[in-house]
Structure formats: C-alpha cells, structure tokens
Amino acid sequence: MSPEMLALLAESLGETLYMVGVSAAISTLFGVPLGVVLVTTSRGHILENPLINRVLGAIANATRSTPFIILMVAIIPLTRILAGTSIGTNAAIVPLSIAAIPFVGRVVESSLREVDYGLIEAAQAMGASPFQIIRLVLLPEAMPSIVLGITLSVISLIGYSAMAGAIGGGGLGDLAIRFGYQRFRVDIMIATVVILIALVQLVQSAGDFVSHRLNKK
C-alpha cells in the first residue's frame, strides 16, 4: 500500500474517531438524564408521572425504530441548521447523536431498574430527596452496568459512522466506498475492516476494564 493510501487511512480513522467521540459525548450527556427520567417517572417510583413517562418513551421508541440511513436523510434540514451543511464529519454528528440518545437512554433505564428498590426505600426513610436518591443511590449502584451500556452504544456508533460515510459523512466508511468499492481496491476494503474490528475490540476492552474496576469499589 502506497504512502498516500496510508495517509488517507490515517486521516479517515481520525475523522471516524472524531465523529464517534463527539456523538458519544453528546448522546451520553442527554441519554443518561433521559434514562433517569424514564425510570423515576414510571409507576410507583420516586417521581411518578405517567404522562411524561409515556411521551418520552414513545419518542425514544420512534427514534430507535427508524433505520439510521432513513434517519440521516429525514433530518437533513435539521442537520443543515445545526451544522451548516449536510455532508462531512460535522454534519454526520447530528444524526449520529440523535440516533444514539434514545439508545443510551433505554440502556441507562435498564441499568437503573436493576438497582434494588430496598436501597431507595432506605434512603427515603432517612429523609433523602429524590435528587439525592438519584445522585447517591441510583447512579452509583448502577454505574458498572451503565458503563457497559455506554460501551455498547459507542460500538453501535462506530458501525453507524461507517454507514454515514456511505452518503458523504467522511471517515472510514467513505474511504471504503470511494477507494475500496468504486475503484476495486480490495486492500483498502480489507484495511478499513481490520481497523474497524480493532477499534471495536479496543472500545469493548476499555469498557469492560472500567466496569470491572467500578464493580470492585
């Protein structure tokens, strides 16, 4: 493989890491509170509110059920407003984040539901407010599981970012289509697949390590 191709691979890897990193940060920032609200507003919980729970649940389900390629095309006007363009890595971050937020929210919801409700009742008996219960009981107890869930979300984002490249999002997916598929460069295709596999393995290993360390505390 020529030095030019190696440079292109490195540049595309950087674009993929940028897209995934920013999207993961945004989806975690909004997805974790979404998961907390979905749990705490459910029936019999500390902030029970069926209306809010049903509305947020319906929005999350509708977004998750939309195929990513269709979602990317459907929100092009919103992408243009937020990113100023509908192509490139910055544009791809918008649909990536929107697709990942409800996924993270549902993962966090599932993790929080695993927390023994007896701990919540004990905190209530000691006079803890709902916010204190969320901050001092729910999130710390569920953190190892939440980390694994966010790890799964990041891995999904890596796959989504490759799909985004197919329609002008940049990154390894774009490189694989333009140089690997359209120019019949099998070596480029193989290289991008190997890099993506290595990236997923690295993210999964890091997530497992952090979750294991949190579980020991």
Angle CA 211–173–160, to nearest 5: 45
In angstroms, what CA-CA distances link 183 with 52, 98, 173, 178, 187?
Answer: 51, 32, 14, 7, 11
Which pTM was predicted?
0.87
CA 196 to chain CA centroid, nearest Å:
16
CATH, residue 112: 1.10.3720.10
Distance CA 88, CA 150 (A): 25
Distance CA 187, CA 15 (A): 20
Which pLDDT tens digit goes with each residue over 117-168?
888 889 988 888 889 999 999 999 999 999 999 999 999 999 888 888 777 7
Q: What is the pLDDT of residue 216?
A: 64
Report residue 29 as tokens.
């920032």
Is pLDDT of 217 > 70? no
Which pLDDT tens digit goes with each residue over 57-80?
999 999 888 888 888 888 888 888
Which domain does 32 fall in, by range?
Answer: 3-216
How many structural domains comprise the chain? 1
Which pLDDT tens digit goes with each residue over 116-129?
888 888 998 888 88
Q: Above pLDDT 70, what percent of the chain?
A: 98
- Give the residue-averaged pLDDT of 36-58: 91
Q: What is the pLDDT of residue 128?
A: 87
Is pLDDT of 194 > 80? yes
In angstroms, what CA-CA distances link 118 with 52, 124, 126, 128, 157?
Answer: 25, 10, 12, 14, 35
Report residue 194 as tokens.
């190997």
